[in-house]
């Protein structure tokens, strides 16, 4: 049993600033959890507190049923894979992988057997007698992983282990890590600032910002229902369009008014939730992929976009343009169209927005205005 | 077009190299002269012949006298002081580098001790050693040199330890090592080049030290610099003996430094802006 | 739970700090004793009272004698040698750092000169200066110290220049500067902390140097270390005068080093593994 | 006039290795060209040779009509924006931007006027008196750009100027750089290893590898018709599927046989080009986005995929699976489906591949087998 329980854990630095503040989180045994956030958000610090490499200033950390606040790292039975890999440069791959077993008093025979097994699992059999300096980046990454696996720890802590790999290798290792987790079934925390890794690898994402845990949940749940503007902006690229608009009650329907003809009707399903905010300024959040070139039945509502830039990526087209505005400057909107769309910069085109997955945010508190989620229903 | 199009014109290159060779000779010739004088008989030291005949007479004369003993003294003192200072320097340097022990002030204090004029330290050292009945003893010199070397070695090793990523130690800690185990099994082996470089530098400092050796040693415990000075003043300058003495004095430095040249040149970068 | 949960138990902390304070006193007390002795009348130097009365008698006696002149000599020699050596060191260090001039061998040679025993260099220096009629002159000392400082300063500055990204110079070159302009307008200003640190270190080395000063200077050109040594030997040790002399000798070092403490501690990292 | 002409330019290092080898390229006045390639491919070296910061070992470089081989950088009237920005740390933003003008002997008045103008253009007006250390990463990037623009050089050389920015800022600056180029109309070379920058910013992409220029052309042309496996693999993420198959003539039609039921018919349009290779092993290149969940009329041909991993990115779904195989191991195929697709790992699904944009490559020479391009026709 290696669940992890953080109970209002904080990290206070001597200069009085908080690295991590009041994080409450329970990670179940065998779960694969992602810590996601911009650099300096406290995600790596939290990981190191779980590993015992940084002290916990306040709060309690449990691994399984045991309070680990004062337990040294060597007695926590966790393994960390570092961004730098942190291979011991003076040892061969074999010695690197066997070091943890040796420290734990395994016999030479046992060390040899487990090292060979793990090396075979990761395809490192040929490299066992090399020094880390003689390995490629991808091979080092595998050795670091192997060093963690061979000890059979209760918990894997991965601190941006893929960030030093090139795009292609990163995509491969992403899949491989997921397969490995499925096979070993150990509790795993993976720290990253990469949205793709976050969306695809874990059972759950924990989004952190300035030391606080902002939102935790299944990837597609967070994607569909971000709790605030930060999450809405952070979780995808191109990010969600966030447009300052006015919400008003007109002739029995609730209207999102972006000025100068940029008007949408709130879908019937959300009217009850949004009606209390009628007559106020809100932030209208619309993902670029919820904008279509052609109408999608009754789901979508048309609007006119003055196209300022067309980025043809080959597989798809990213359109930037302006629409509405009126009182303030025109609103900048990004749309994600299929690569078959034919649009030129300078044109004004009619596009079709799907309002059902869209969100409204409070411009002051920056939090999402609650509405029934589509996720459970869909 | 040639493979490398940007060499300067040939005439300029010839002139440049001629100048450079002349300057190199200016540096190297005196050293070669010393080598020559040491290997010819004393009466021919000033002869104008290039090599009037090979002779080890100077060396024999030198080593049959007190110089042989001095040579041994220097080796004992230099090696001993480094062996005593290095472990302490390693631990202090590691504490400074990794835990910022004592903060900026402690580091500055350590650096400040290096700035005191040696002349001001000689008398107190003498008084201290006298109290311990260690004047004119190699033990006393070893202790004093170890103390003199300690801050310098600590400073150098602090730099080396700082350059070792803390991730390595963290990996060792989670792998099951204690803090001491991580230092001993990971940090020390990784910083071996630094330890070697620091050790050799400490050895050289002790080997060359003159002032303390002069004041604190007696006839039977004098080191090479004192012996060399004696050769130059006692009964007129015996140029042959002096040359042989200089060659012998430099010999271990040449050996030691060639051995760790790579570490010294690669590993020692005194300054770096942040 | 307190904000910081990982402090050791209170009893251990008290014991730890008591030990540390005792060790600090062991270092600091002798210095304070020197300061005290320098400011009490000579006849009370060894009195057991803590402060038997404030007196500047020692300083007056000292400065009325030859010591004042020595002080001035030391300032001229140390400052002069640094001012001469620094520009050459900057240019050589830059060439080593950026163009790898001379390759690894040239750098090693420069380092090797630092390893020769000073005693072996004194005699040749004396002979050279005698030929130029510069013995017993401050000019001679300045030149010798500049030569002694040059490799050391070059080494330090090479480290600083290496740490400056080449992009900066490339930017200056495409912005319209010549190679010299890029060095003068970009590299030098950026490495000012390094130049200051190197300058102060060179100053301190010259200020503290004893052996060459002893051999190459005469009565009117003696520097502080020589004057201090004279105080300790001429007519018995005048402990009050010596203490005042030591305080005066250390004074500029304290001023200079406090001034550039930041650059020294931040900027000087001797070792780094690759 | 500031066209750039590279005539079999090479860079030979003292150790005998080539940094750049026989690059022939003409860049027209006002063109925006991208140098794309993995690290160490020679793209930055080529840029520095054009700037005069590295010597040219062989070949000739013309800017306009002038041979620049021996002209010092200051006389080439080019501006470089470095990856590190290379701002002069001891100068204010104003002095940084004015340095180039000062070096060229402009009057104080002229320097002040042009600096103010450029600062206004880039929104740096408030920052002119700050030192670089007091700026954020994005602001530094702008100052570096401003320092290049203010001098009005003939040529802009950008050496990965966006790689130190976070994803969101990078996307913004991408658009801004393109607008700036349109406005100033100067010849621009942009070095990058980012496929998105390459696809969206330039008039032309030059793909380099190991010092050689592999392919140069308009972004969508290269995307549609890569000359070899390297380009096919490098230009997109997820990369093109490259499957070892057998090409055979069967009953009057040309068949791509991946074994175990993975069979496609070569479209009539390409039969003439591919027929001579019938009976040989080839590499079949199929982009992930040319695989659909539903048939797209007669264009697509069905095949069965055993799904091994589903990566739901929110905006789209990346499917990994295996198909065919037979003689060798099963072939790994990646598909890019809309986010509305409902697929589970472990299932076997029928997908539909569009064979028209697909390519065949020679497995030995790794070059594409020539066929009529679709680009001109489409």
Q: What is the pLDDT of residue B8?
A: 63
Distance between CA C207 and CA B124 in Å, rounded?
A: 20
- Is the pLDDT reported for residue B1 higher than 60? no
- Distance between CA C116 and CA C132 in Å, rounded? 24
Tokens found for residue B181: 């185990």
Question: pLDDT-derived band of residue C78, with 50, 70 and 90 as boundaries?
Answer: very high
Residue B248 sits at the vertex; the CA angle it makes with B245 and B250, to the nearest 5 degrees, is: 110
Residues of B at the D interface, defined by Cβ within 8 angstroms = 1-6
Confidence at residue C237, expressed as pLDDT on a 0 to 100 scale: 67
Q: Does D55 touch chain C (CB under 8 A)?
A: no
3-state secondary structure of C268: strand
- Chain B residue at shortest CA distance from D22: B3
Confidence of residue D120 (pLDDT cuts 50, 70, 90): very high
Residue D172 contacts by C-beta under 8 Å, 6 or more apart in sequence?
none
Give the span between the Cα atoms of A362 and D119, in whole angstroms. Answer: 34
At C63, list the tokens: 């400065």
Q: What is the pLDDT of residues A198-230, one digit of tens each?
A: 999 999 999 999 999 999 999 999 999 999 999
Residues A109, A110, A111: CA angle, nearest 5 degrees: 90
Given CB atoms, is C125 within the 8 Å cutoff of chain B?
no
What does the radius of gyration of chain A's CA atoms come to, in whole angstroms? 25
Reduced 3-state DSSP string for chain D: CCCEEEEEEEEECCCCCEEEEEEEEEECCCCEEEEECCCCCCHHHHHHHHHCCCCCCEEEEEECCEECCCCCHHHCCEEEECCCCCCCCCCCHHHHHHHHHHHCCCCHHHHHHHHHHHHHHCCCHHHCCCCHHHCCHHHHHHHHHHHHHCCCCCEEEEECCCCCCCHHHHHHHHHHHHHHHHHHCCEEEEEECCHHHHHHHCCEEEEEECCEEEEEECHHHHHHCCCEHHHHHHCCCCCCEEEEEEEEEECCEEEEECCCCCEEECCHHHHHHHHHHCCEEEEEEECHHHEECCCCHHHEEEEEEEEEEEEECCCEEEEEEEECCCCCCCEEEEEEEECCCCCCCCCEEEEEEECCCCEEECCCCCEECCCCCCCCCC
- Which two structure tokens, joined as six digits, stand for D341? 């697709």
Residues of C in contact with B166 (CB under 8 A): none
Task: Please state the ipTM of this predicted complex.
Answer: 0.84
Per residue in A255-266, pLDDT (tens digit) is 999 888 899 999
Q: How confident is the model at residue C105 (pLDDT cuts 50, 70, 90)?
A: confident
* C171·D86 Cβ contact <8 A: yes
Contact yes or no for A171 and D288 at CB 8 A: no
Identify the pLDDT of residue D166.
81
Flag if A58 and C5 touch (Cβ within 8 Å): yes
Q: Does residue B223 carry a pLDDT above 60? A: yes
D69/B4 CB distance under 8 A: no
8 Å CB contact of B2 and D58: yes
Total Cβ atoms within 10 A of residue D333: 25
Chain B residues near residue C273 by CB distance under 8 angstroms:
160, 163-164, 190-191, 193-194, 267
Residues in B touching D59 (Cβ below 8 Å): 1
D161 touches chain C (CB under 8 A): no
pLDDT at residue B5 is higher than 60: no
Q: Is residue C125 classed as helix, strand or coil in its secondary structure?
A: helix
Give the model's pLDDT for residue C268.
45
One-character DSSP codes across chain B: --S-TTPPPHHHHHHHHHHHHHHHHHHHHHHHHHHHHHTS-GGGTT-SSS------HHHHHHHHTTHHHHHHHHHHHHHHHHHHHHHHHHHHHHHHHHH-TTHHHHHHHHHHHTTS-HHHHHHHHHHHHHHTT-TTSHHHHHHHHHHHHHHHHHHHHHHHHHTS-HHHHHHHHHTT--HHHHIIIIIHHHTHHHHHHHHHHHHHHHHH--HHHHHH--GGG--HHHHHHHHHHBTB--HHHHHHHHHHHHHHHHHHHHHHHHHHHHHB--B---
pLDDT at residue number D378? 42
Q: Which of A48, A74, A89 sits opposite B177 (nearest CB)?
A: A74
Chain B residues close to A89, C-beta within 8 Å? 190
Q: Is beta strand A187-192 parallel, antiparallel or unpaired with respect to A32-36? A: parallel
Closest CA of chain C from A71, distance in Å: 11
Of B259-273, D202-216, D278-292, D303-317, the poorest mean pLDDT is in B259-273
pLDDT > 60? residue C234? no
Q: Which two tokens stand for residue B12?
A: 């300029």
The set of chains that have 3 or more CB pairs under 8 A with A is B, C, D
Mean pLDDT for C255-266 is 62
Indicate whether A251 pLDDT > 90.
no
Per-residue model confidence (pLDDT) at position A106: 92
Query: Which span out of B19-28, C223-232, D146-155 was modeled with the highest average pLDDT?
Result: D146-155
Neighbours of A13 (CB within 10 A): 11
- Cα first-last separation, chain C: 44
Q: Which of D53, D84, D104 sits opposite C176 (nearest CB)?
A: D104
Q: Which chain D positions have a beta carbon within 8 Å of C190's beta carbon?
A: 88-90
| Dist CA C72 CA C67 (whole Å) | 9
- How confident is the prediction for chain B on average, in pLDDT? 81
Question: Which residue of chain A is at minimal alpha-carbon distance from C273?
Answer: A89
> pLDDT digits over A95-124, tens only?
999 999 999 999 999 999 999 999 998 989
Q: Which fold has domain D4-233?
A: Rossmann fold (3.40.50)
Contacts of B32 (CB under 8 A, 6+ apart): none
Q: What percent of chain D lies above the pLDDT cut of 90? A: 78
CB-CB under 8 Å, B4 with D56: no
Chain D residues close to B2, C-beta within 8 Å? 58
Note whether A97 and A164 are within 8 A (CB): no
> Under a CB-based contact definition with an 8 Å cutoff, are residues D317 and D338 in contact?
yes
Q: Tell me the pTM.
A: 0.85
pLDDT exceeds 60 at position B234: no
Cα-flanking dihedrals φ and ψ of residue A16, to 5°? 90, -5
- Which stretches of chain B sit within 8 Å of chain A by CB? 165, 167-168, 170-178, 181, 186, 189-190, 192
> Averaged over C55-67, what is the pLDDT?
84
The residue of D11, D21, D48, D58 whose CB has the most chain B CBs within 10 angstroms, and thus the best one to mutate to test that interface, is: D58
What's the CATH class of domain D237-361? Answer: mainly beta
Smallest CA–CA distance, residue D261 to chain B, in Å, is 49
Residue C172, pLDDT > 90, answer: yes
Q: Which residues of A touch D235 (CB under 8 A)?
A: 314
**Neighboring chain A residues of D320 at a CB cutoff of 8 Å:** 175
User: Is the CB of C156 less than 8 angstroms away from the CB of B271?
Assistant: yes
User: What pLDDT was estimated at residue D53?
Assistant: 95
Q: Where are the domains of chain A?
A: 4-233, 237-361
Contacts of B167 in chain A (CB under 8 A): 82-84, 86
CA of D32 vs chain B CAs: smallest distance (Å): 29
Q: Are A69 and C5 a contacting pair at CB < 8 A?
A: yes
What pLDDT is stored for residue C262 in this prediction? 58
What the block records as the tokens of A375 is 């996720």
**Angle D6-D7-D12 from CA coordinates, rounded to 5°:** 90
pLDDT tens-digit profile of A290-341?
Answer: 999 999 988 899 999 999 999 999 889 999 999 987 656 789 999 999 888 8
Mutate to test the interface with B, among A52, A53, A73 (most CBs of B within 10 A): A73
Q: What is the model's pLDDT at position A376?
A: 63
> What percentage of chain C carries pLDDT values higher than 90?
23
3-state class (DSSP) for residue A9? strand
Q: Which region among A162-166, A306-310, D228-232 has the lowest average model confidence (pLDDT)?
A: A162-166
Mutation target vs D (from B5, B6, B7, B9; most D CBs, 10 A cutoff): B5
Instruction: Give yes or no for residue C59 having a pLDDT over 50.
Output: yes
- So what's the pLDDT on residue D236? 85
Average pLDDT over residues B84-113: 82
Residue of A nearest to B164 (CA): A86
> Is the minimum CB–CB distance between A168 and chain D shorter than 8 Å?
yes
Amino acid A377: pLDDT: 47
Question: What is the per-residue pLDDT across D46-102, written as a single tens digit (0 to 9) for each?
Answer: 999 999 999 999 999 999 999 999 999 999 999 999 999 999 999 999 999 999 999
What are the φ and ψ backbone dihedral angles of D65, each rounded to 5 degrees? -105, 10
Query: Across chain A, what does the average pLDDT equal?
Result: 92
The answer on pLDDT for C269 being more than 50 is: no
Residues B71-89 have a mean pLDDT of: 94
Cβ of A51 and B176 within 8 Å? no
For residue B274, the chain C residues in CB contact (below 8 A) are 163, 266-267
């Amino acid at each position: 049993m290696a669940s992890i329980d953080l109970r209002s854990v904080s990290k206070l630095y001597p200069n009085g600033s908080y690295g991590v503040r009041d994080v409450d989180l329970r990670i179940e045994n065998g779960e694969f959890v992602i810590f996601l956030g911009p650099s300096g958000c406290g995600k790596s610090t939290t990981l190191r507190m779980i590993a015992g490499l940084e002290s916990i200033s306040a709060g309690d950390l449990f691994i399984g049923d045991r309070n680990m606040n004062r337990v040294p790292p060597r007695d926590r039975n966790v393994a960390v894979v570092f961004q730098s890999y942190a291979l011991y440069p003076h040892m061969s791959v074999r010695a690197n992988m066997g070091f943890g077993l040796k420290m734990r008093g395994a016999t030479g025979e046992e060390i040899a057997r487990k090292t060979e097994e793990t090396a075979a699992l990761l395809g490192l059999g040929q490299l066992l007698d090399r020094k880390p300096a003689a390995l490629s980046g991808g091979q080092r990454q595998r050795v670091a992983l192997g060093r963690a696996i061979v000890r059979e720890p209760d918990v894997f802590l991965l601190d941006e282990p893929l960030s030093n790999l090139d795009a292609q290798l990163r995509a491969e290792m992403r899949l491989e890590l997921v397969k490995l987790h499925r096979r070993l079934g150990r509790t795993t925390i993976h720290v990253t600032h990469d949205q793709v890794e976050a969306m695809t690898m874990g059972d759950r994402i924990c989004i952190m910002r300035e030391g606080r845990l902002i939102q935790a949940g299944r990837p597609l749940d967070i994607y569909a229902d971000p709790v605030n503007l930060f999450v809405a902006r952070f979780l995808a690229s191109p990010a969600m369009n966030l447009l300052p608009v006015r919400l008003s009650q007109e002739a029995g329907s609730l209207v999102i008014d972006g000025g100068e003809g940029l008007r949408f009707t709130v879908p019937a399903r959300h009217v009850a939730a949004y009606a209390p905010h009628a007559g106020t300024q809100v932030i209208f959040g619309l993902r670029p992929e919820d904008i279509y070139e052609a109408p999608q039945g009754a789901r979508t509502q048309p609007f006119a976009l003055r196209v300022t830039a067309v980025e043809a990526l080959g597989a798809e087209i990213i359109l930037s343009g302006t629409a509405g505005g009126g009182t303030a400057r025109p609103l900048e909107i990004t749309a994600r169209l299929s690569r078959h769309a034919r649009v030129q910069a300078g044109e004004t085109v009619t596009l079709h927005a799907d309002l059902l997955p869209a969100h409204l945010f409070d411009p002051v508190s920056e939090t999402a205005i609650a509405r029934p989620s589509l996720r459970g229903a869909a | 077009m040639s493979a490398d199009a940007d060499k300067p014109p040939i005439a300029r290159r010839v002139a440049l190299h001629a100048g450079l060779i002349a300057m190199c000779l200016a540096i190297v010739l005196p050293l070669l002269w010393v080598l020559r004088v040491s290997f010819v008989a004393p009466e021919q030291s000033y002869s104008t012949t290039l090599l009037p005949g090979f002779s080890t007479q100077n060396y024999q004369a030198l080593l049959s006298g007190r110089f042989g003993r001095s040579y041994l003294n220097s080796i004992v003192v230099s090696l001993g002081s480094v062996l005593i200072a290095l472990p302490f320097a390693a631990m202090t340097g590691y504490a400074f580098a990794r835990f910022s022990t004592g903060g900026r002030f402690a580091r500055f204090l350590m650096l400040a001790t290096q700035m005191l004029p040696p002349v001001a330290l000689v008398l107190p050292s003498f008084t201290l050693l006298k109290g311990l009945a260690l004047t004119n003893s190699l033990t006393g010199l070893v202790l004093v040199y170890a103390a003199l070397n300690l801050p310098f070695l600590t400073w150098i090793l602090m730099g080396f330890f700082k350059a070792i990523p803390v991730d390595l130690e963290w990996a060792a800690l989670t792998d099951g090592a204690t803090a001491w185990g991580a230092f001993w099994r990971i940090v020390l082996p990784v910083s071996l080049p630094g330890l070697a470089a620091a050790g050799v530098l400490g050895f050289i400092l002790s080997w060359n030290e003159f002032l303390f050796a002069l004041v604190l040693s007696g006839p039977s415990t004098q080191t090479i610099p004192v012996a060399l000075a004696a050769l130059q003043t006692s009964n007129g300058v015996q140029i042959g003996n002096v040359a042989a003495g200089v060659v012998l004095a430099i010999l271990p430095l040449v050996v030691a430094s060639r051995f760790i040249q790579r570490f010294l040149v690669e590993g020692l970068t005194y300054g770096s802006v942040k």
